Amino acid sequence: MSGLWWVWEETNLKIAIAGGGVIGLSIAAEISTRYPQESVTVFAGLRPGATDAAGAMFNVFSEIDRNTLVFLPMFRKLEYAALALELWPDWAAKYGIPAHFCETLVHAQTDLDQEILNYIGVALKTFGDKFGAIDSGIAILQEGYVQPTRLKAALINAIHRNQNCIVRSTDFMRQQDDKSYDVVIWANGAYASMYFDFKVRTFYGNGLGMIFPGRFPPNIVRTPVRFNSCGINVLPYGADETYVGASNYISANSHVPKDVIRETCKYLAEQAEALTGARFISKGYRTVLGPRPMTEDGQPLVGWMDDRNFIVTGTRRDGLTISPRLAPDVADCVVKYKTFSNPIYDDWRPNRDPLRWLPKDIAVIQTTQSLIERAKLHNQDINLIDNEVLKKYNSNHIEYGVLPEYYEFI
Ligand SMILES: Cc1cc2nc3c(=O)[nH]c(=O)nc-3n(C[C@H](O)[C@H](O)[C@H](O)COP(=O)(O)OP(=O)(O)OC[C@H]3O[C@@H](n4cnc5c(N)ncnc54)[C@H](O)[C@@H]3O)c2cc1C
C-alpha cells in the first residue's frame, strides 16, 4: 500500500463547505461519493448566488472573446473548459443532472460581434469540433444547458444519498463554526472577498436574467460575448419557460440599483426580439439576479489560502461549465494529494499577484472599441470617447492593461 493511499484512507477529515451554489455542491457530491470516510457539511448560505441567476449553458466556444486565442492564461482556460465540456454527459449521468446537449446558434449583430465570430470559427477548427454556417452566424454543435434549480436539486439528492454529508441552509460563521472542522472549502462565489484579502482585485459581476412563459427557440440562440461580458442569450428554461440573459453590472458589492434593473430588462427584451424574432417586449416575466465571482485578471482563485482554508471562486462566466472538471480536482486535492497535478492551478493560486497578461496598448484599443460599440447600441454620442481611455490610463499612471469590463474602476 503506497504512502499516499495511507494518507487518503486514514484522514477522516471533517470538512466544511461554505457555499451551496454549483461549485460548493459539486465538490460536496464528489467528496461524499468518492471518499466515504470523510464527513462533509455544506453551509448553503441564503444570499443570492450566481448559480441561481444563470441560464445556464455549457458554453465554451461561444464564450470566446478577442483575447482567448491570443494570451496564454486565457487559452489555457479555454482548453480546460473544452475538456470539462467533454466530461458533462458522464457527469450528468453520474449525478442524475437533467442536462440538455444541443446546438448553440451564435449570431453576429454588430461589427465587433462579427470579429469575435471569426475567432470562434478559428477555435472550432483548432479543437476539431464540427460546426456549420448559418445566416450571419455559426452553429456550435456540442454545447448545452441545464436549468439551475434542477441542477442544484440533483446534486443535493446525490449528496443526501451519501451518509457522510449534510446540507444546512445557513451561512458558515467563522467565529462559531471554524473550530469544528479540519478544513473549510470556501465556495462562496463573489462573497469570498468578504472573508479574505486577496492580492488580486475581485468584483461582483451582477447578472440579471429574465424568465418568460413559453418556449421560444428550441435550443440556445445567442450573440458572441460583448464588452467582455456575456452578450445576449435566449434558451429554454425548464419544461415550458424561456431564459433571456444576461447583464453584467460590475460592482464592489451585490447591490444593483432599481433603475439599472429596469433599463437592463428593457434592453434584454429588445435585444432578444432582434435576435430571435420572437415577441418579448411587453410580455410578463420574472427576473433572477446574482453575482458572478469576478477577478481582475479573468482567472479563477483555486487552492489553499493557508493550511485550513481552501478557496474556489472567481469562476466568472463559466462556473457551471467547468464544474465537472473543477470539483473532482478539488476533491482530490483537499482529501488526497494536498496539491494539484495540473499546472493550470499555478495560474489560479488564490494568494497570487494579479496576472498582467494584457498589454496596455491592446487594452486601450479594446476598451475604446467596446465603449464605441456600447454607445452605438444605446444611440449615444461616440465622439466623446475619442482618447478618453488613454487619458484615463495616463493620468492614473497605469502601465499594464486592464480588462475592458473593469475600465470604470481604473
Ligand atoms: C446571469 C448569469 C448568467 C450566467 N451564465 C452562466 C452560464 O451560462 N454558464 C456558466 O458556466 N456560468 C454562468 N454564469 C456563471 C456561473 O453562474 C458562476 O460561475 C457559478 O454559478 C459560480 O458558482 P459558485 O457556487 O461559486 O457561486 P454562487 O452560485 O454565487 O454561490 C455562492 C453561494 O455562497 C453563499 N455564501 C456566501 N457566504 C457564505 C458563507 N459564509 N457561508 C455559506 N454560504 C455562503 C451565497 O449565499 C451563495 O449562494 C452566469 C452567472 C450569472 C450571474
292 Cα to the center of ligand 1, angstroms: 6
Q: Is the pLDDT of residue 393 over 50?
A: yes
CA dist 320 and 22 (Å) reads 6
Shortest-distance atom of ligand 1 to CA 208: 1
pLDDT tens digits, one per residue of 314-339 = 999 999 999 999 999 999 999 998 89
Shortest-distance atom of ligand 1 to CA 206: 53
Question: Going from the N-terminus, what domains does the chain have, and what CATH number goes with each?
Answer: 3-347 (3.50.50.60), 360-409 (no CATH)
Residue among 221, 320, 323, 405 to mutate when testing ligand 1 (max atoms within 8 A of CB): 320
CA dist 396 and 66 (Å) reads 25
Query: Over pLDDT 90: what percentage of the chain?
Result: 80
Residue among 315, 326, 348 to mutate when testing ligand 1 (max atoms within 8 A of CB): 315
Q: Is the pLDDT of residue 82 over 90?
A: yes
Nearest of 142, 146, 140 to residue 56 by alpha carbon:
146
189 Cα to the center of ligand 1, angstroms: 5
Mean pLDDT, the chain, whole residue set: 92
Q: Is the pLDDT of residue 129 over 90?
A: no
pLDDT at 187: 98
20 Cα to the center of ligand 1, angstroms: 9
Integer-rounded Cα Rg, in Å, for the chain is: 21
Residue of the nearest CA to atom 9 in ligand 1?
57
Query: Over pLDDT 70: what percentage of the chain?
Result: 97
Amino acid at 88: W
> How are beta strands 100-107 and 39-43 bridged, if at all?
unpaired
pLDDT tens digits, one per residue of 231-260 = 899 999 988 999 999 888 999 999 999 999
- What region, left, alpha or beta, does residue 397 occupy, with left being phi > 0 and alpha being psi -120 to 50 degrees? left
The interaxial angle of helices 72-95 and 319-332, nearest 10 deg, is: 80
131-145, 188-202, 350-364: range with lowest mean pLDDT: 131-145
Residue 191 to residues 185, 253, 294, Cα–Cα distance (Å): 13, 8, 10
Which helix (H) or strand (E) segment holds residue 374: the answer is helix 360-377
Residue of the nearest CA to atom 31 in ligand 1?
21
pLDDT tens digits, one per residue of 136-180 = 899 998 899 999 999 999 999 999 999 999 999 999 998 888 889
pLDDT tens digits, one per residue of 5-50 = 445 555 789 999 999 999 999 999 999 999 999 999 999 999 999 9
Mean of the pLDDT values across residues 72-95? 97
Shortest-distance atom of ligand 1 to CA 233: 8
pLDDT at 228: 60
pTM of this structure: 0.95
Question: Which residues have CB under 6 Å of ligand 1?
Answer: 18-24, 43, 45-47, 49-51, 53-57, 59, 171-172, 187-189, 191, 207, 209, 245-246, 290, 292-293, 313, 315, 317-321
